[in-house]
Amino acid sequence: MAEPDAASASAGAGALLRWLLSPAGLRDPYRVHREIRAAADAGRPPRRVLFRYGDVRAALQDRELRADRVSAILRPLPPPARAEAALLERTLRDIVVFRDPPAHRRLRHLLARAFTPAVVERAGPAIAAETDRLLDALDIGGVMDLHRDLTYPLPAIVVAALLGVPAADRDAFRAWARDLVLVVGSGALTPAAARRAAAGAARMRGLVARLAAERAADPGPDLLSAMIEATGDGDRLTPAELAANALFLMTAGHETATNMLSNGVLTLLRHPGRRELLAGDPSLLAGAAEEMLRYESPVQIAARVADRDRELCGLELKAGDPVVLLLGAANRDPDAFPDPDRFDITRSPNPHLAFSHGAHFCLGAALARAEAAVVLPRLLERFPQLRLAEDDVPWQPTLDFRGPERLLVRR
């Protein structure tokens, strides 16, 4: 695919998404974002794409835009493959992030009653213990892959433990969640990926049904028990909603936190001065985590659908038109963040959109931040001379989620 230029930056959403999935786009989406901004400033804005901070924030708050994009995700499938993916489609449609009011309000309310601050607080000791265990197991004699051996497994272990998924089933649950990520974030769903995710969804429903029966008979302190017991005006999650949103919490809690941690460590190692500043002043940790989220956002894209013919932030939309919201571009908008391409762990204020905004603000944001607060200082203390073994890291080939496929470092 051609390198970015001002002419192609005014293309429609489909062309831009293909561009962002190209090797150049995966390596540096921010160059693409700069070209988009330059084209828009020259009077050639991209079609059905929002990238300025104010516009993206307004769209995320707009309750008249639809979040249900399941049909768009499955559209690349030919009819026979779409029929085979019926269970996958039903699972996606039961997930809170793909629901619109009033169904979204209902699901969000029930999930929030289960996924409380107390749940996150109770996870603290488990996060610390698993972090220390994984750090102890690292091969400190040569090259280490921090993504494979620390930042990828840790969030999955934590979320699975929170849900109460037995240790013997956690690898399978994590694989099903990964298949869902590839379905949602691929940008070009294939029949093979859909079949794999549909098969995983079927097995996942069986596992959650078994666990739910056990919790109904003997509730525990785990999140799955809380989800079963959560009520609102006499309402509860249905068995299908329970299974779908348990998988979603595994997906979002794992993928977002993994990418936050991997991206954060990578960014720190690419900016040794900032790493030394943080190592010398732990009080900067919270601000550093927010800057990592802004600078290399783990979730790069959100999507909405126009509910009617309307104007949105200068876009003329027809009912059913999709709108792409570039969170990564918004978080590097010079009108919102001075010197946006500078990694500054003292940046304040830092109202980034990495966890979305409005009604769909990430349910797992507090858990991801809690994991960063444990992992980063422990890693810096254990390996004060840590450095990259390769700077040009391979990035996972997904649009929505941004994170490296490996993170090789030397002690």
Q: State the Cα–Cα distance between residues 126 and 386, nearest whole angstrom.
A: 25
Residue 332 lies in a domain: no
Most confident segment among 115-129, 169-183, 367-381: 367-381
Contact by Cβ (8 Å): 303, 56: no
Q: In what order do the strands lie in the sheet with 387-388?
A: 144-145, 408-410, 387-388
Q: What is the pLDDT of residue 1?
A: 40
120 and 35, same domain (yes or no):
no
The predicted-structure confidence for 208-218, as pLDDT tens digits, reads as follows: 899 999 998 99
CATH number at residue 384: 1.10.630.10
148 and 292, same domain (yes or no):
yes
The DSSP code sequence of 315-383 is EEE-TT-EEEEEHHHHTT-TTTSSSTTS--TT--S----TT--GGG--TTHHHHHHHHHHHHHHHHHH-
What DSSP designation does 48 have? T
The predicted-structure confidence for 146-162, as pLDDT tens digits, reads as follows: 999 999 999 999 999 99
38 and 139, same domain (yes or no):
no
Beta strands in 147-288 (DSSP E): none
Q: State the Cα–Cα distance between residues 357 and 92, nearest whole angstrom.
A: 21
Contact by Cβ (8 Å): 381, 241: no
Domain enclosing residue 250, as ranges: 66-299+359-410
Contact by Cβ (8 Å): 130, 157: yes
pLDDT(9) > 90 = no
Q: State the Cα–Cα distance between residues 12 and 271, nearest whole angstrom.
A: 35
Q: State the Cα–Cα distance between residues 287 and 362, nearest whole angstrom.
A: 19
pLDDT(123) > 50 = yes
The predicted-structure confidence for 200-209, as pLDDT tens digits, reads as follows: 999 988 998 9
42 and 73, same domain (yes or no):
no
Q: Of 66, 107, 70, 101, give the one whose Cα is nearest residue 86.
A: 70
Enter the pTM of the model. Answer: 0.92
Q: State the Cα–Cα distance between residues 400 and 355, nearest whole angstrom.
A: 12
Mean pLDDT of 131-153: 91
Q: How confident is the model at residue 181 (pLDDT cuts 50, 70, 90)?
A: confident
30 and 87, same domain (yes or no):
no
Least confident of 99-108, 242-251, 366-375: 242-251
Q: State the Cα–Cα distance between residues 40 and 127, nearest whole angstrom.
A: 44
Q: What is the pLDDT of residue 6?
A: 47
Q: What is the pLDDT of residue 299?
A: 94
Q: H/E/C letters for each residue in 99-146?
A: CCCCHHHHHHHHHHHHCCHHHHHHHHHHHHHHHHHHHHHCCCCCCEEH
pLDDT(55) > 80 = yes
User: Number of folded domains in the chain?
Assistant: 2
Residue 283 lies in a domain: yes
Average pLDDT over the chain, rounded to an integer: 91
Contacts 24+ apart (CB under 8 A), 11-17: 11/46, 11/47, 12/46, 12/47, 12/48, 12/49, 13/46, 13/47, 13/48, 13/49, 13/322, 13/323, 13/324, 16/46, 16/49, 16/324, 17/187, 17/324, 17/399
277 and 129, same domain (yes or no):
yes
The predicted-structure confidence for 290-311, as pLDDT tens digits, reads as follows: 999 999 999 999 999 999 999 9
Q: How confident is the model at residue 389 (pLDDT cuts 50, 70, 90)?
A: very high
Q: What is the pLDDT of residue 251?
A: 82
141 and 4, same domain (yes or no):
no
Looking up tokens 């010398």, which residue turns up?
280
Q: What is the pLDDT of residue 255?
A: 84
